[in-house]
Structure 1
Amino acid sequence: MNLKTILMAVMANVIVLSTTLVSSSIAHASGDHADEQEEHHEEEKGPNNGRLLTQGEFSLELVLFERGVAPEFRVYANFKHEQVAPQAVDLSIRLTRLGNVVDTISFSPQSDHLKGDAVIYEPHSFVVDVQARFKGKQYEWHFETFEGRTEISNAMALNMGVTTLRVGPQTLRQTLPVYGKLVLAPNSERHISARYPGEVKALNVQLGQSVKQGQHLLTIESNDSLQSYKVFAPISGMVSMQNIALGEQTGSANLLTISNSQTLIAELNVYPLDQDKIKPAAKVLIRPSNSTEQISTEITDALMAVNAQQAKVYRAKVSNVDGKLSVGQFIKADITVNTFTVDKAVKTSALQSFRDFTVAYEKVGEQYEVRMLTLGRKAGEWVEVLSGIKTGSEYVTGNSYLIKADIDKAGAAHDH
C-alpha cells in the first residue's frame, strides 16, 4: 500500500468520525428554570412532517416549506395536544451558518401557522436557535442540522493535494478551436542558380546544412569565358534543396534552395459559420502536434481564397528561433473571439454536483461546505458566477472531487 492510499484511508476515517459528531442533531428546551431542560438525540416529527420541539405541554413543529415557493419556515404551535392560534405565540429563529454568518428570522401569524419572513437559502446547514413566548413563559431550543459539510485538517488537505483560490473578478476569453499547419513565411526562401552556366568546380554545402548570409556556397567555371566565379548565400538558413553535384554542368536550373525557418506562419482553417467571429489582430494560442508547448501570437492577415474545404485561411506568425517546429507540422489553435470581465468567477475544476445543484466547496478554517452556484458564461478554465458564493470566499480548486467523496460518504440528510 503506497503513501497516498494510506493517507486516503486515514482521511476517510477522520471524516466519517467528524461528520458523525457534527451531524447529530441535539435539541434541548429550557423554560424559566434550568432544571426543566431536556435533550432529544433523535429528531421527532410532527403531523406536517416537520421537526417537533417539545417542552412540557407546549410544542412547536418547525417545517421547512418549499413546495411552489422559495424555502421558508412555517411553524405550528400546540399546547396540551391542542392547536394554538398563531397570534398567541411570539417567535424568532436565529440560524448560524459556517463562518459565523447569522440569519435572524421573524414570524407573522397566518391562518393556522406562523410564517418566517426570510428565504432559507441553500445549503440548509446551520445551528438553529429557537425562542418562543407563550402565555408569559419563555421557551428556547438549540440544535444543529448540517448538510454538505465536512472537516479536514489543513495538514491532511495538503497531503491530499487540495488547493484553493479566492472568488473574485476575472477577465474571461471565449475562444474558437481550429486546426491548421505551419508553413514558411513569405520571402524566407531563396533559389540559387548559375549566373553564367558552367561546371561546378567547388561545392561547399549539402542538403540539410545550415548556412549564414554571405557564406561561400560553390564555385562555377563559366563555359564561355572559362573564368571561375563564386556564389554566396543571399540569406541565412538551411539548404532545403540540392540539385547539383561537384563536376556537373549547371545549365539554367535551380541548383540549391536556402530556407529560413526562424519565423513560420500558422495557417488556420476557419469555416463559414465562424468566419464572422474573427476580429483583426485576434489573440491566438497555438498547440503544435505531439507537443505540450503553447505559443501565444495573433492573427496578422487572411488569404484571399478559401481552400478546398471552403475554409478561410487566417495566418499568424510563429517564432521558431529554437528550431523545434517544422514546416508542414499540424497544429491546433484557439482563436480569441470575445474578451470580457466578470465580477465573480471560479475555475471549472472546482465544480461538482450535489443533489440537483452544481456546487463549489467553500473553505472556512478546516471545514468545507457546498455552495450552490448559479453560473453564467464560460470561457476556458473559468466560469462566471452569478450567485451562490461571495466575493473573497476561499474555495477548493484542486482535487475538489475528494471533498465531494467525503461529503457523499457522510450522507448528511436534507431537512425538508
Structure 2
Amino acid sequence: MNFNNDSKEPSRPRVPKKQAVAIAVVLALGVMAGVGIMTFAGKSSGEASHAHEEAEGHGDGEHHDDAKTASAKGGHADAKAHADGEHHKEAGMEAGKEEHEGSISLTPEQQTSAGIVVEAAKPATLTATYQLPGEVTFNEDTTAHVVPRVPGVVESVPVALGQTVRKGQVLAVLNSPTVSDQRAELQAAQKRLQLARTTYEREKSLFEARISPQQDVQVAEQAMQEAEIAVTNARQKLQAVGATVSSGSLNRYELRAPFDGTIVEKHIALGEQVREDANVFTVADLRTVWAQISVPAKDLPLVRVGDSVTVRATAFEQSAVGKVAYVGSLIGESTRTAQARVTLQNPNAAWRPGLFVNVEMKRDSFEAPITVTTDAVQTVEDKPVVFVKTATGFIAQPVQVGRTDGQRVEIVQGIKAGVSYIAVGSFIAKAELGKSTASHAH
C-alpha cells in the first residue's frame, strides 16, 4: 500500500527572495541598535560610578563641577585627568601644611625681645677637653687640728663654730693639774737657781779674799749651773704643751689659734673633761683650698704637674682656673685611680670643702670644618637638634655632634657651613616647638 501522499507535511508557502533580504537587513539593524544601547548604558554607568567616587573625595560641589567639565569636553579621559589634578593639588596642600606645622615663626621683634641671636655655621679651631671628677677639700698645709696636749676640765669656750679667729686668740680655757705641776716645778727651779747664784757669789768673794778654798767656789758654780738647767727644762715643758710661763693661777691652761683661719669643727663644751689627745677644734685657712681629682689609670699620661685646668662646680654656676700641683704615684687598689691635686684661690669662700666638681683638662687643638655654639644644640625626642633658619621661620634640624671645647661644638652631620641657625636663645625655639606639637596633638 502506498502511503507517500498521506505522510507528507502540508507544503509551506515560499517567501520571495527580495522580501527575505529585507527582513534580514531589518534584523541586523535591530541587533546593532541593541548593542549600541547596551554599550552606551555601560559607559554611562562607569562614568556615574567614577563621578560618585570623585564626589566622595571632593564633596558634592566639586562633583557637579567635574561632571559638567567632563560633559563639556565629552570624554571620560578629561574627567579622569581633572580628578588626578585635584588629587595632586590636595597632596601639595597636605605637604605644605606639614611643613608649616614643623616650622617656628618668629618675627624680628620677637627674636630681639627674646635675646635670640642668629649666626652662620662656620669652621673653627677647637681645643678638645675632657672632664675628670673631683671634690673640694681643705688645704692641708693651712689646716690645723687643735688638741689640748694635757688633760683637764673645760672652764670656758669663748669662740663658736664657723667663727673667724686670729693667730694666738684664745679658743678655750682648761683647768689642768698637769699644767699646775709644771708651773710649780718651774717656780721651784727658779728659787733654787736664785739660791745657787747667791751661794756662788759668796764663795767667789771668799776665795778672792783668800778665806775659802777654790774648791768651794767650783762646787757652788756647778750647783748654780744645774739650777739653771732645771729652770730651762721646766720652762720648755710648759712651752711644749702650749702653756704660758706665768698666769693668774697655776692650773689655768689656754688653747690658742695657731694661725688666722675659721673654726670648721668644734668638739668641746663647758665643764667637759677632755683628754690630752682629743681633737677639740679644727681651724682652717679657707683662702686657699684643694680640688682633689680622681684620675683613672688610662688618663695618667695626660695629667701633668703644671697643666692649666678649669674647675667647675656641679651644684651651681661657679668656675675657677688653676694648675695641677701634684699627681699621685700610687693607684688605689679598690678605685684603680690615682689622686691629683689643684690648688684654688678662694678669697670669697665660694669653694666649700665637700663640694663636688668637674675638672676640665685640655688636649691638642684640631680644625673642625663645621661648628656651632654649644648653646645652639638642644635635645628633642632624645636627639640633638639645631634650629636652622628657613624661608618660613626656624626648623629643628637633627644633627650628629662631635668634639667640643666647651664654647663651640663640631657638627659631623646634619647641616653645612654657612647655614644660619639660632646661636643664642635656642631654648626659646624649643619651647615654641613644644607648644605647637602639643596643640597639633589636641
TM-score normalized by the length of structure 2: 0.46
Q: Which has the higher helix share?
A: 2
- Give the TM-score, by structure 1 length: 0.48
Larger strand percent: 1
| Structure with bigger gyration radius | 2
Higher relative contact order (CA 8 A, sep 6+): 2
